[in-house]
A and B are shown apart, each in its own frame.
Chain A
Amino acid sequence: MAAPGAPRASEASAREASGRAPGPGRAEAERVARSATWSPGQLQAHFAKHGREGPYATIEAYDASARETIRVGREFTYLDRTTGARRRGFYDLSTNGFTGVTEDGRRITTYFHPDSGEHYVRGLLESTYR
């Protein structure tokens, strides 16, 4: 597993590693990466809790990495165990980065580097990650 937040050799190799194929899904991911927002206070809270998992000198760098994971990561869906809400997840194998967003792609709900990598995203409730 690559170190969390490790620099990417290139965008193309990152996409190859993550399994994302070019096509309509990429355009949608780009839309989400550009337009999704963190809910009030959540970017600060997530940076405080997860910021040390990667080489993020600033909150802006952490946010940018969350959005880049949406762009290059493999997309899947899962359910939040507390509310049953469906989420869209993006997992980038090359950086072990995981970004969660709401089903409509409007809100970023988290970004972190799970200790167990792919095993974690595969184990989320009703995860479609394969």
Chain B
Amino acid sequence: MARAPGPGGRRPLHGPAAPVLERLFAARGLRSGEWWPFLVQEEGTPLPGGLEALSGFVLTRSGDVYGWWLDWAPADAGLAADEGLATGRTGSGGIETGAPGAPQGRYVLDRWWRVAAPEREFAADAEYRGARERLGLP
């Protein structure tokens, strides 16, 4: 399996959800290359955009940790300008738009919460320690 580039790389993630997570985290103020996901899990729900629902956490370079849930909002739920429109399939480069007959909507972080005292909460989690290492945190 290909490994993700280091913390200085442009794409700190690999996997099919990487472009979507990049965009959604950016909409939450997390700059590219300044975060690392951990304890991510596929949730069994295929989303109209082509990805599967995901849950997980993201560590920022400042040491904050946020929990999140990747889901899908249909177009009639309203579109946020910073999240954009997605239709149909997700290609290797990210979102494809304009596919005829494709479901209209957008990926969303349906749940987003800040974890208090993450260093204490995740002290024993190997994936959290790995994420800290990836971001160059002690």
* Residues of A in contact with B (beta carbons under 8 Å apart): 39-42, 45-46, 48-50, 79-85, 87, 98, 100, 102-104, 106-107, 109-110, 112-115, 120, 124
Contact = CB atoms under 8 A, between A and B. Distances in A.
Interface stretch (B23-31, B40-48, B75-83, B88-96): B40-48
Contact of A82 (B54, B69, B111): B54
Nearest to A98: B44
9 contacts: A39-B67, A39-B125, A40-B116, A82-B14, A82-B37, A83-B38, A84-B15, A85-B39, A100-B41
Interface string B9-40: 00001111110010000000000000001111
A114 B52 CA distance: 12
B64 to A, nearest CB: 13
A113 B43 CA distance: 10
Instruction: Choose among A79, A107, A115, A124 the residue with the greatest number of B CB atoms under 10 Å from its CB.
Output: A107
Contacts of B122: 39
Interface of B: 1, 3-4, 13-18, 21, 37-45, 53-57, 67, 69, 111, 113, 115-116, 121-122, 124-127
Nearest to B16: A81
B1 A84 contact: yes
Contact of B55 (A42, A102, A104, A115): A42
Contacts of A81: 15-17, 42
Nearest to A100: B41
Contacts of A98: 44
Given A82-B18, A83-B127, A84-B14, A109 B41 contact: yes
B44 A83 contact: no
A80 B41 contact: yes
Given A83-B127, A112-B44, 17 more contacts: A39-B57, A39-B122, A40-B67, A81-B17, A82-B17, A82-B21, A82-B54, A83-B13, A83-B40, A102-B125, A102-B127, A109-B41, A110-B42, A110-B43, A110-B44, A120-B44, A124-B42
Nearest to A85: B127
